[in-house]
Structure 1
Amino acid sequence: MKMRNIGEVISALRKQKGITQEELGNKTALSRVIIAKIENNQRAVSLEEAVRIARVFEIDVDTLYGFIEEEKTEEKTFVMAFKAKGMDSINLKEVRRIELLFDALFAQEEIRGE
């Protein structure tokens, strides 16, 4: 399953597991409203929150973000820079995962107002 953003991934995994937003919120110490906003791509998910959510689904954060389909255009990404240097596709996927984790870390800073 490939999704466009982390909210879609969380929603799909939650539904696959057969739990409500309220139940996911209770298991992650987040409110149902926050889960709904994350799933609807109205709120960023912090790295800490992503770790807690991933644990509920019994996966790691790398796997959670691995469900996001790579964008077709990579103009402003690290991936483009590494691709230009001739890196193979397996390593490019790893660079993309690292980039997504950095994005989550920066989102966490924004959420906390740092």
Structure 2
Amino acid sequence: MKMNNIGEVISGLRKQKGMTQEELGNMSGLSRVIIAKIENNQRAVSLEEAVNIAKVFAIDVATLYGFIDENKEKTEEETFVMAFKSKGMDSRYLNEVRRIELLVDALFAQKEIRGE
């Protein structure tokens, strides 16, 4: 399952588990409204929130972000992954670099939303 963004990933996983937004919110320590905003990409997800949501689905945060289809948002040539690739990094580590980049992007989006 590859999605366009973290909101779609969370929504998809929640629906696969047959959970409501309220149930996911209660289990992750968030409100239903926050879950709805995240799923609709009206609000960024903090790293702590992503970790808590991932725990509900019994996965780690890197796996949660790993469901995003990176090609939909950026081409590899537009990312810093290309720099690691050009230095000859082994392909098994490139996926970890991609996941780190997604987490960094999420942190910057959160700051942007807050106006920092």
TM-score, length-scaled by structure 1: 0.86
Aligned to 2:61: 61
Query: What is the distance in 2 between the residues matched to 1:57 and 1:45?
Result: 16
2 CA distance for matches of 1:65 and 1:2? 10
Q: Point out the more displaced range, 103-112 or 30-39.
A: 103-112
Aligned partner (choices 64, 74, 77) of residue 76 of structure 2? 74
Partners of 1:111 and 1:32 in 2: CA distance:
20
**Distance between the aligned counterparts of 2:53 and 2:65, measured in 1?**
11
SS of residue paired to 2:68: coil
1:21-100 alignment, distance < 5 Å: 21-71=21-71, 73-100=75-102
Q: How far off its partner does 1:6 sit?
A: 0.6
8 Å CA contact 1:10–1:39 kept in 2: the answer is yes
Offset of residue 5 of structure 1: 0.8
Identity of paired residues, percent? 83
User: How far apart in 1 are the matches of 2:114 and 2:27?
Assistant: 21
Instruction: Tell me how many residue pairs correspond in the alignment.
Output: 114
Q: In the alignment, is the contact (CA less than 8 A) between 1:65 and 1:100 conserved in 2?
A: yes
Deviates more, 1:44-53 or 1:29-38: 29-38
Q: CA deviation at 1:95?
A: 0.7
Structure 2 unaligned residues grouped into runs of 5+: none
TM-score (norm 2): 0.84
